[in-house]
Every structure is written in C-alpha cells, then in structure tokens.
Chains A and B, each alone.
Chain A
C-alpha cells in the first residue's frame, strides 16, 4: 500500500513543474509540453509509487523507471532532484557542456537514470528485458515505463507489447501519456493511434484508464497493476500537454521550445499561485 499523502505528492508535482519551466528556460531549449503533461505521473512514481532509495541508486531490488519518451528528460531530472538523488541547484545545468543532465537521459552520466533514451519506441523493449531478468532471478522488483501517445506510432512498441504479454510480464507497468499532441499536430491528425485502450487489450494487457493529473488515480493504477497476475498492465493516462502553465496547455508549439524569461516568470507565478499546499 502506498502510504504517502496524495496532497504531499501534489506539492511535489507542482515543484517539479516549476523546475521544468525554470531549467528549460535556463537551457534555452528543451521540451516543456510533454514534461509538464507527465509531471503528476512521474511525481507519483518517485513519491510513493516506486520502491526506491535515493541513497542506493544501484540497489538491485529497486523498482525501475524507464522514460521511453526521452525528450521529457526535464520531468525525470526534476523528480530525481526533488527526491534527493542530486541537488536541485544542479537542474539549471540542463543541456550545458559537461553536465550530467544531457538533453536526453544518459544512464551513465546521472545516477538514478535507468536507461539512456531519446530515440522513441525503444523503452518498452528495455523495460521488458529488465522484467525478464527479474523473473529469471526470482526478484520482485517492478519496471515502470512511460510512453508518449505519438510514440505509439513506432512499430517496435507493438513488438514489445506482444512480447510482454507473451512472456506474461506482470511486473511491467506501462504508462501512456495520452496528451493528444505530437510535433506536427494532434496525434489523430498526424497518424492516429486510436483506439489506444483497445489496442493494448487486444495485445493481451490489463488496461486501466485514468486522469493522469489525479494523483490518487495514478496511485490506484500503480497499486492495481501490482496485483495483476500473468499479464502486464497499461495505464492510459489522459493528460493535457503543457499542464499547469495556461499559455502552454494543449498548444502544439510548446512541444519543443523554451520559454523566454518573461514567459518563465509568468509560468512560475501561475504555478506558485496554484500551489496546492496553500
């Protein structure tokens, strides 16, 4: 059972959003939209959802998180820093020469990053491999993976979906960040991955649909996925791209541009105003 108070996680998720806006602004480039849409999911995983210990990033029995949509690196870095893997002050080194915070996650440069990602479509295969290793070794760790909805267009995702069901990887939980947008426009216009839930069902997965901004629903999905036997679980998380920053919400062009300083200030003001702890 997840014992942490969801309201505490909401505060963390809000801070994660502030970090995202701040660090991408400092970097002058990066992907705010898909980082913000995933802040509640990733926040819930790092605060309560996963069995982890920031002091022991190499602990063999830890749960794993694979950020398959690697362009959302800022949400991962912000969560790791908030959780205590490294100082939050280091977040602004994002994308700078020599920084461990590479533009896309590098598992060899930053402790806590489980897999190097950035080329879309590959993370679920890797998560499956980790889960298979757990089964071989009789370990009970769980592997979580976050995919984009546009990313579902990659054929490898479905190769991996088939394999996870075939091998009964009930220690895999795949979140789909269903924010409806990719770079060239809405996913339904570019190359529709719909219906999403039916596809995972047809591939033999247990499927849960949630509001990806409701921490309690994210927690419930994680807990439910831990109880499913013989099948992997897909959590289709309905989200809003750019969530939390009014002028970014559901705007395609905020996929991959950095806010200017003024925009950052406005975004931080909005996020601070909405602080759930006040």
Chain B
C-alpha cells in the first residue's frame, strides 16, 4: 500500500488551495522545510511570511490578518503550535472567533528521534477545550486535502493535526471529507474501534487480525475530533456493546476522553482507551516507540479482547 506522511500532503493541499483562494496566506516559524509550507512559498512567495522563531507573534499576526479579511494558515511543530501559543490562540483567535487555521505538523510520538521535547501528546486536549475550535486529525493524505479545503471554507478557528510518519493512503480520490462526520471503514457486530490519525490504519489491521479469531469489529475513523460525530459513536456503541479508542495522544483529554464523554451520557458500554498513558515520550525510531508505548495493531487487538470480557 502506498504510504505518505500527512505533512507531505499538507504542502500539496496548501498549494492547491492557494490556487483557488487568493485570500489564503501562510505563516511559518522557521520550519517551512519540515512543515512543507515551503511548497506554498515556492508558488506564492508574496503570500508567505516567515515569522522566525517567534510562535506567539506568528499566531497574533495571523489574528490580525484574519481580522482584515485574510485566511491565514500558521504552521510549526504541534508541540510549539499549541504549547508556546496557547494563550495567543485562546485570546486572539478563539475568543474573537477569528478565521485562523493552525496546521501543526510533527504531532505525536512518531516524531521519533527528537524525543519528548518535540513529541506532542497533549495538543488535541488543548485545542479541543477551546470554544468554537474545530479539530481535524486526518488519517491519510486524502483526508488532509479534504481537511485543508474544509478549513478554508469554515469561517472560524481550525486546528489541523499532521504527522511526519508515512501512513497508508486509505481512501480513494473520490472520498468526500465532511467535517464532523465519522467514517465507518468496516462493519462488525462485536466491538467498535474508534481511531484517529495514524491509528486508523492500525485499527484496520487490528480488525483484520481479530476477524481470524471470529471477532468482528466496526472501525470508525474520526477525522474530526471536534465537533464530534456523537450520533455515529452512540449508534456504533449501541450496536456492538463495547468500544476501544485508539490515538497517538494522551488518553487524557484526547479522542478517548471525547468518546467517553459522549458514551457516559448516551450509551455507557465497556470501553478501553489505547493511547499514551500519562507519560512523556523519548527518543527512538517511530516504529519502536509505537511498540514501546502500546500504540500498535496488536495493542488495539488486546484491548478489544479485554473489553469483550467485560461485555
């Protein structure tokens, strides 16, 4: 299967967007080669601004550009895009509901060798709690194109979480990205696996492996963590009676938390969250880290077996 990192797709998607939308401007904080905003810079130098290593100012500047009618996309690594700039996003973007897009790359443990200082496992939580913030976590290159185009159509703040790790392309070109709508990738009656980002491919693998044991799983891909498709999640929980979530993020505050919040009110069922368990990451190869921190198809499959015992 063809693999491509979501950040690669982001660079291409920005260029495509820039071609059809003259209001789009792009800001980066000295990481344009890594975030791939450099692709946009090559084609539209007059609409690209390197703001230097000054993330707070980058976000504030984007707010001003938006207040004057532009559609700014700001990019840097997720750990800086949300951590160094949380107050700027809260006060100057989310509170005034300005049309700023934060497209953060290098999210999660699969940053790899750079280690914990660069591995953001809190960003979904930080962005999800902000009123009016849309949170996209694309699972593959096709979803990135959809998310970038959708972000530009939304009049308000959007966070897009992107990765450095090549992931399989799951969708065909005819895939329609509908913000806020869960994508059912597989149907089964025993359990529902709900995943986002790079964990979607792992969830599909887990479902495949489980089917050999006679366990049939529904797989829901949540490319929009906020607003969350509560109806689809509740329906799947009701039909299968057990849920496992999977994310390359802390189990505190991320997708698992969001799903638990919905289910505890609407359809409480046995549930297990697969994710980073209240710890920082470390240096290592992405694949090694996924194994060490329990973020593989095998980990999802064991979580399924465990949750089924509680059914």
Contacts and interface: CB of A to CB of B under 8 A. Distances in A.
Decide whether A and B assemble into one complex.
yes
Interface of A: 60, 64, 66, 106-108, 114-119, 121-134, 136-137, 143, 155-156, 159-160, 162-163, 166-167
B64 A130 contact: yes
B56 A159 contact: yes
Contact of A114 (B67, B88, B91): B67
A137 B70 CA distance: 10
A143 B70 CA distance: 16
Nearest to A133: B68
Contact of A131 (B52, B60, B64, B69): B64
Interface string B87-111: 1101110011100000000000000
Contacts of B57: 125, 128, 156, 159-160, 163
Contacts, number: 111
A60 B68 CA distance: 8
Given A118-B91, A127-B64, A130-B65, 8 more contacts: A106-B96, A122-B63, A122-B92, A126-B64, A126-B67, A129-B66, A129-B70, A130-B68
Interface of B: 25, 46-47, 49, 51-52, 54, 56-57, 59-70, 72, 87-88, 90-92, 95-97
A164 to B, nearest CB: 9
A156 to B, nearest CB: 4
A95 B160 CA distance: 35
Main secondary structure of the interface of B (DSSP, over half): helix
Nearest to A156: B56
Contacts of B66: 129
B87 A129 contact: no
Contact of B64 (A108, A121, A128, A156): A128
B95 A160 contact: no
Contacts of A127: 64
A166 B49 CA distance: 11
Given A107-B96, A122-B88, A134 B68 contact: yes
Contacts of A107: 67, 96
Nearest to B96: A116
Main secondary structure of the interface of A (DSSP, over half): helix
A160 to B, nearest CB: 5
Nearest to B87: A119
Which of A107, A125, A129 is packed against the most chain B CB atoms within 10 Å? A129
A115 B96 contact: yes
B88 A156 contact: yes
A169 to B, nearest CB: 10
A48 to B, nearest CB: 23
A163 B64 contact: no
A234 to B, nearest CB: 16
A132 B49 contact: yes
A107 B63 CA distance: 12
B45 to A, nearest CB: 12
A156 B70 CA distance: 22
Given A107-B96, A115-B96, A160-B57, A136 B91 contact: no
Given A129-B65, A159-B56, A108 B70 contact: no
A160 B87 CA distance: 16
A133 B65 contact: yes
Nearest to B53: A159
Given A156-B88, A160-B61, A162-B52, A129 B68 contact: yes
Contacts of B52: 159, 162-163, 166
A122 B67 contact: no
A200 to B, nearest CB: 16
B92 A126 contact: yes
Contact of A132 (B65, B91, B96): B65
A105 B30 CA distance: 32
6 contacts: A64-B68, A122-B60, A124-B60, A125-B57, A125-B63, A156-B57
Contact of B67 (A106, A118, A129, A163): A129
Contacts of A162: 52, 54
